[in-house]
Amino acid sequence: MLEPSSMVELPPLGAPITWNVCQVFMRDPRINLRNRELAAFLAFILPGGGHFYQGRRLKAGIYFTGIVSLFFAGMILGDWQPVYSQISYINVHGSVQMRTAQQESKTSFSIGYAAQVFVGFPAFPSLIQQFRFKADPGSVVTLDGPLRADFIGAFREAGVFVPVSGSLSLVTSTQVGVTVEGHFSGVTKDGVPVEAELRGGVRLGQKVFGSPRRDIIISGLEDVLVGEVRAVELRGTVTRSFSDWYQAPRDSGELDRLHGKLSRHFEIACVFTWIAGLLNLMAIWDAYDGPAYGYGDERPEDDEDDSDSKTKAAEG
């Protein structure tokens, strides 16, 4: 895109336009790039930031609006989950978020993040969540405070499961041998109301993890009757705080859930965020080295050579 300050008079209509290849890819003195390194850094931090610093306000607005809109369009389409820097796994069977402190959680780099990170600030939470995830000890058997959240899961007795959904409230128990106590209110998958008082031990999944749902198991239940099932365990998921799952590392199980829920929309969402990052990579270069095009008023090298030869011939 031409800079407003660099517009020049174009040749007459129909006149041939020639380009000097060397001049096309050289910085044009008509654009003040100021401190090029700082401009490139600002463009990386926020799309359009470097151009705004250089006084190229129109282009700054175009880059910011286009790139940031594309990035967040992908985030919305993908349930705010297309961006993550790490994929986690453990060497034993089970969920990563239910690992114990003794089970090492290994991570591998997400290739897609290599493009997403060039969006700058909007993709930086992934790096913060990466450090928080690695510092997390894993699943816990105590509550930090009262827990009130919606619940999706099942009551269990031996090999029999009764799927339920509803609301769960728990507090730390003062009874000996009992970790938590609380109440469940909800319905079975057939719409049968369920009310149950809960007392037993608890195990909560890892606090920082790339899923809006946090695993929970309440075991050792007594006197809990759900239909004809005398349940001894409640197993399922509760809501996780947005700040603990947004752009956090996740495992293959969570990725499978996302693909199952969103189908091709999740893949399209990822592509949107990748393209946004790659577009800003070009914007960073533009802030550092200026527009990679000519203005149509460059004098071709061939004309210069012909002029020199004619001058020498006349002198000879």
| 27 found inside a domain | yes
| 104 found inside a domain | yes
CA-nearest of 159, 163, 155 to 189 is 163
* Average pLDDT score over residue span 110-138: 96
Query: Residue 294, class by beta-carbon neighbours within 10 Å (0-12 exposed, 13-18 middle, 19+ buried)?
Result: middle
pLDDT in tens, 274-300: 999 999 999 999 999 988 665 566 566
Q: What is the mean pLDDT of the chain?
A: 87
Q: How many structural domains does the chain have?
A: 2
Residues 130, 152, single domain; the answer is: no
Residues 102, 180, single domain; the answer is: no
Q: Sorting pLDDT into bands at 50, 70 and 90, what band is 24?
A: very low
> How many other C-beta atoms lie within 10 A of the C-beta of residue 170?
23
* Domain enclosing residue 203, as ranges: 147-244
71: which 2 tokens? 């990035």
Q: Sorting pLDDT into bands at 50, 70 and 90, what band is 232?
A: very high
- Whether the CA torsion 118, 119, 125, 126 is positive or negative: it is negative
Residues 271, 130, single domain; the answer is: yes
- Decide which of 205, 229, 244 is a domain's last residue: 244
| 142 found inside a domain | no
- Using CA atoms of 238, 241, 247, 250 in order, give the dihedral in degrees to the nearest 10: -30
CATH number at residue 165: 2.30.29
| 312 found inside a domain | no
Q: For 22-31, 52-61, 141-150, 272-281, which range has the lowest pLDDT when averaged over its residues?
A: 22-31
CA-nearest of 301, 286, 275, 292 to 71 is 275
Contact in structure between 276 and 74 (CB atoms under 8 Å): yes
Residues 6+ apart with CB under 8 A from 104: 90, 91
Q: Sorting pLDDT into bands at 50, 70 and 90, what band is 25?
A: very low
- pLDDT, residue 21, reads 44
| 188 found inside a domain | yes
The answer on pLDDT for 199 being more than 80 is yes
- pLDDT, residue 109, reads 96
60: which 2 tokens? 């700054």
Residues 121, 265, single domain; the answer is: yes
- pLDDT, residue 176, reads 84
> How many other C-beta atoms lie within 10 A of the C-beta of residue 52?
19
Residues 38, 186, single domain; the answer is: no
Residues 112, 89, single domain; the answer is: yes
- Decide which of 244, 276, 291 is a domain's last residue: 244
| 141 found inside a domain | no
Residues 131, 264, single domain; the answer is: yes
Between residues 314 and 252, the one the model is more confident about: 252
| 73 found inside a domain | yes
Residues 254, 237, single domain; the answer is: no
Q: For 6-15, 173-182, 252-261, which range has the lowest pLDDT when averaged over its residues?
A: 6-15
Residues 119, 263, single domain; the answer is: yes
Between residues 27 and 248, the one the model is more confident about: 248
Q: Which parts of 84-212 are beta strand (E)?
A: 86-89, 106-109, 147-157, 160-172, 180-188, 193-204
* Average pLDDT score over residue span 230-234: 95
Residues 262, 131, single domain; the answer is: yes
| 176 found inside a domain | yes
Residues 29, 128, single domain; the answer is: yes
* Average pLDDT score over residue span 37-41: 97
- Decide which of 200, 223, 244 is a domain's last residue: 244
Q: Sorting pLDDT into bands at 50, 70 and 90, what band is 100?
A: confident
Residues 131, 154, single domain; the answer is: no
